[in-house]
Structure 1
C-alpha cells in the first residue's frame, strides 16, 4: 500500500513537472517570437535619407528592401577605385545605383552599378592625376605619351611627359612639357586649355599657333572620356575613370597646390542619420541592399571606419575583400554592421595649403544611437546586459 502511494506521488510530481515545463517552454517560445516580430519590424523599417528617393518603394521581399539604390555618405576618406586612382573625399552624398532594377549593389561587379553623386567635394592630387593618365587613360599601344608627372599650382596645371609624335615618331621618347588651365565647359566636361608646349625645354606653342598647327595634328588622344581636340584636352568625368561610372553634375572646379578640386551640388537636400560610431573619417551606407562577398545586406546600415584613427581611412573598392578579411565586423540587434578595417596601401592625401572653409556638407539628422531607449543597449547599439 505504501509503495503504491509513493508511486502515485512520484507520477503526480512528474506530471506536474511536465506541465510546468511545457508551460515554461510555451512562454519562452512566445517571448522569443514576440522579440523576433519586434526585430523584424525594425529590420524592415525604411531608413532612406530624406531627399534621396522620390519614387515609390517596390514590394518588400527577403532579398529586396524596395529601395532603388544604396544611399552612401563619405567623410574624410581616401577613396580609391583601383590602385591609386580615386579621390580624397572631403564629404560626399551619393547613391550606388544598380543598372538592373531590383538587384542588389554587387561590390564584386563594378560594371553592374553607377555612383551618382548628389553633393559634396573631392580632390584629385597630383599623383592621382598622373596615375589616372599613366595607368588608365593612356594604357594602350602605341601610346602617344608616357611617364606623366603633374605639378599643380594656383589656377594652373603643368605636365611633364615623354611623347612620340603621331604615336610613333621618331621611334624614341621626346621630353616635353605642357601647361594650361582647367575649366568647366557648358556641357559639364573638364577642359584642359593648353597654352604652353615645350620640347627639350624649347617653347613651341607660339610657333605652332603662328603656323596654325593645333596640337591634335601632332598628338592623338582619343580614349573613352578623354579626347584631344585642337589644343584642348576634353575630359568627361562620367566616363574617364575606371568603373563604376561616376555620375552627377560638377558645380565648380579649381586647381591649387593640393590638386584638382571638384564640387558637386545637384541635390543638397539629402539628410542622412548620424552614423552609429562617432568618427571624423568613415563610409556610411544607410539604406538599400549592398552585396558584399556573397552576402546581401538587406535594408541594413553599414559603417566603415579605420582601425588606425590617427589618419583618414583609405578604402580600395576593387580590393575591399582584402581589407575586410584583415578587419573586424560587428553587428547589433538592429542589423547595423560596423566594419573596422586596416587602410589599403597607397600615398595618403596631405593638404599642402591650410584647410579652407568647408563647403556645404550634406545634412546629418538624428543620431541612431540617440534613438536607443533601452539602458542595456550601449552607444553603438550592442546589448551589454546579455
Structure 2
C-alpha cells in the first residue's frame, strides 16, 4: 500500500512538473509572438515610402531605407565626402524590390529631403584630385584649395591644350548656386600661370579658360570661365537627389543646404536615447550589411568616442565597422558603437 501511494504521489509530481513545463513553454511562445510583432513592425519616418508589396519575414514590402545623419563625416571612397551636421532622406535601390546593399553602393542612390552638408577645402580638393581630374587626358592636376572671405582660392598645375610642360596655376573667385539648373558655379576672376597675371590679357583677346583646357567629366564641366559642378552626379559610387536652395563659402568650406519639397511632410526619426552626439540612423525598409539581411530595419551606428564625429565610408564600410561593438536588443534594434576611422590619404 505504501509503495502504491508513493507511486501515485510520484506520478502526480511528474504531471505537475509537466504542467509547469507546458505553462513555461506557452509563456515563452506568447512572449516570442509579441517580440515577432515588434520585429516586423514598419516605422517609416515619412508616409511617402509606405510598403509597395505584400510584406513578409524576408521583405518588408518597402523600397528604400530611411536615413538620418547627425554630425557625421560621410565618405564615398578615399577622401571624397562631406560633413553632415544634419541630413534626412532615403537610401533608395535602383532596382525596385531590392534591399539596400552596402556591398553594392552603386546599386542605390541617396534621396535627400532636407539638411545641410559641408565640403571642407581638403574634401573639395580630394573630389577633384581623386575623381574629377583623375583621368589620363586631364589638363589640370594637383589642386589645393583654401576658403577665405567668401572666396575660393585654388592652386595647382595646368597643361594648356594638353601639350608642353605642366605650369603652376592660381585661381581666385566666388562660388554661386544656379538653383534652377541644380549647379554649383565657380567663376574665378583672377588667374595666374607661372605666377604672372594673365586673365586681363586673355579677356582683351576674347580668350577664356575653356579655350586652354578641356573638362568634360560626369557632373563637372567648364563653360567659358565657369567651372560647373552638378552635385547630383559629381560624387563617385552613387547619385544624390534633392534640391539645394542655398550655397555659401566660409572658413569651414562649401555649404550646401537642401530644402524639403513644397508641401512634403517632415521626416520624423526615432533614434534611441543612447545615440549620443554623432550617429547614423537607418529606419524601416530592408538592408544588407556583411551579407546579413536586416528587414524592417532599426539600426543605429554611433561614434564610440564622445568628442569625435562618426566617420563612415561607403566603399570601406567593412573596415569601418569591423572592430565596432555590436548589440542586438530583444526588440530587433541593431546597435553598433563605431571606433574612430582614419580616411586613407590621397595618393602622392
Gaps of 5+ in 1: 348-386
Q: Please say if 1:100 is aligned against 2:95.
A: yes
The DSSP-based 3-state class of the residue aligned with 1:111 is: helix
2:153 counterpart residue number: 158
Deviation of 1:213 (Å):
1.1
- 1:111 corresponding residue in structure 2: 106
Q: How does 1:105-184 map to 2 (within 5 A)?
A: 105-167=100-162, 169-170=163-164, 172-184=165-177
Q: Which residue is equivalent to 1:303? A: 300
Contact 1:59 1:66 in 2 (8 A): yes
- The answer to whether the 8 Å contact 1:253/1:261 transfers is yes
CA distance in 2, matches of 1:56, 1:298: 12
Residues 315 and 343 in structure 1, CA contact (< 8 A), matched pair in contact too: no
Structure 2 Cα separation of the partners of residues 9 and 55 of structure 1: 65
Pairing 1:238–2:235 present: no
For residues 206-246 of structure 1, the C-alpha deviation after alignment (integer angstroms, 9 at most, x for no partner) is 11111111211110111111111211111111111011211
Supply the distance in 2 between the matched residues of 1:108 and 1:250 (Cα, whole angstroms).
Answer: 28
- TM-score normalised by the chain length of structure 2: 0.93
For residue 144 of structure 1, report the CA deviation from its aligned partner. Answer: 0.8
**Distance of 1:56 and 1:40 partners within structure 2:** 18
Among 274, 277, 280, the alignment partner of 1:277 is: 274
* 2:285 aligned residue (281, 285, 288): 288
Question: Which whole-Å CA distance do the structure 2 matches of 1:54 and 1:28 have between them?
Answer: 40
Moved over 3 A (4+): 54-57
**2:32: which partner in 1?**
36
CA contact under 8 A between 1:122 and 1:263: conserved in structure 2? yes
| C-alpha contact 1:192 1:234 (8 A) present in aligned 2 | yes
- 1:250 to 2:247 alignment: no
- Equivalent-residue separation in structure 2 for 1:55 and 1:273 (angstroms): 17
Whole-Å separation in 2 of the counterparts to 1:72 and 1:178: 37
**Equivalent residues in 2 for 1:303-322, closer than 5 Å:** 303-322=300-319
Normalised TM-score (structure 1):
0.84
Size of the aligned set, in residue pairs, is 340
Q: Residues 49 and 63 of structure 2 are in contact (CA less than 8 Å); yes or no, is this contact kept in structure 1?
A: no
Alignment correspondent of 1:327: 324
What residue number does 1:360 align with? Answer: none
- Counterpart of 1:84 (choices 76, 79, 92) is 79
- More divergent stretch after superposition (213-222 vs 265-274): 265-274
Preserved contact between residue 276 and residue 303 of structure 1 (Cα < 8 Å): no
1:174-210 CA deviation, whole Å, 9 max, x = no partner? 0011122221122111111122211111111111111
Partner Cα distance (2:103, 2:271) in 1? 27
